[in-house]
A and B are shown apart, each in its own frame.
Chain A
Amino acid sequence: GENVEQHPSTLSVQEGDSAVIKCTYSDSASNYFPWYKQELGKGPQLIIDIRSNVGEKKDQRIAVTLNKTAKHFSLHITETQPEDSAVYFCAASMNTDKLIFGTGTRLQVFP
């Protein structure tokens, strides 16, 4: 079955710097790649997603890139702010209702 690896497990950046989180997936049939943000005391919430027919997608300060050949995708956050501090999860899906999640990245943004 599908396996998703996520790196790094923790990431600390200064406010205003950029943050990058990377994920790799094993099954080339996967075609949907969402990213979820989990703030302290809350459940994960979708922040951006990308489908396999697109190489890059941007929404204000966040962007996701997909390299189907290498089977990896990345989340980019620019001009980080303290409120970006959270745990981020990548996931992959193959036209099913089930998501396979990565192991999570704890991002800390220091003022």
Chain B
Amino acid sequence: DVKVTQSSRYLVKRTGEKVFLECVQDMDHENMFWYRQDPGLGLRLIYFSYDVKMKEKGDIPEGYSVSREKKERFSLILESASTNQTSMYLCASSKPTGNTEAFFGQGTRLTVV
């Protein structure tokens, strides 16, 4: 069974903390994505990585950075967490063939207090 696994289901952090969200996939996919999900706003792309050490900004990259040191692992970093970053974060992976299925993790609900 193919899997995208996010390290935490729930996370509570304080304002100003540096936060790491981790994602691992076992499908040998080149592409990995981080999305943010908010009610009424759908899924918005934060960052996209198409290969190890390669990354591309999505629609809402401000306040976030990413790291892809190994093919299977993609990390989202909140350099200094703020309350407006309280949200559900979803990681996904896909093959680099265009117009193809994205496989999602179960999500991390982050609360910044």
Interface status of A97 (Cβ within 8 A of chain B): yes
Query: What is the interface size of chain A, counting residues whose CB is below 8 A from a CB of the partner?
Result: 25
Assuming the A-B contacts A43-B4, A46-B102, are A97 and B42 also in contact, with contact meaning beta carbons closer than 8 angstroms in the complex?
Answer: no
A25 on the interface (CB 8 Å rule)?
no
Chain A contacts for B94, CB-based, 8 A: 97
Contact stretch, chosen from B11-19, B79-87, B103-111: B103-111
> In whole angstroms, what is the CA distance A46 to B90 when docked?
15
Is A81's beta carbon under 8 Å from chain B?
Answer: no
Q: Is B48 an interface residue (CB 8 A)?
A: yes
B42 near A93 (CB under 8 angstroms)? no
Nearest-neighbor residue (CB-CB) of B56 within chain A? A98
Contact A31 B99 (CB under 8 A): yes
Contact B99 A44 (CB under 8 A): no
| Shortest distance from the beta carbon of B32 to any chain A beta carbon, whole Å | 10
Q: Could you tell me the distance between the alpha carbons of A49 and B92 in the complex, rounded to whole angstroms?
A: 17
Chain B residues with CB below 8 A from A9, complex form: 40
What are the residues of chain B within 8 A of A49 when measuring CB–CB?
A: 101
Taking a contact as CB atoms under 8 Å apart, the answer to whether A103 and B40 are in contact is yes
Interface residues of B (CB under 8 A from A): 4, 31, 33, 35, 40-45, 48, 50, 58, 90, 92, 94, 96-102, 104-107
- Since A36-B104, A43-B105 are in contact, a sample of 14 more A-B pairs with Cβ atoms closer than 8 Å, ordered by chain A residue number, is A9-B40, A41-B106, A42-B106, A42-B107, A43-B90, A43-B107, A44-B43, A45-B104, A96-B98, A97-B48, A98-B58, A101-B35, A103-B42, A104-B40
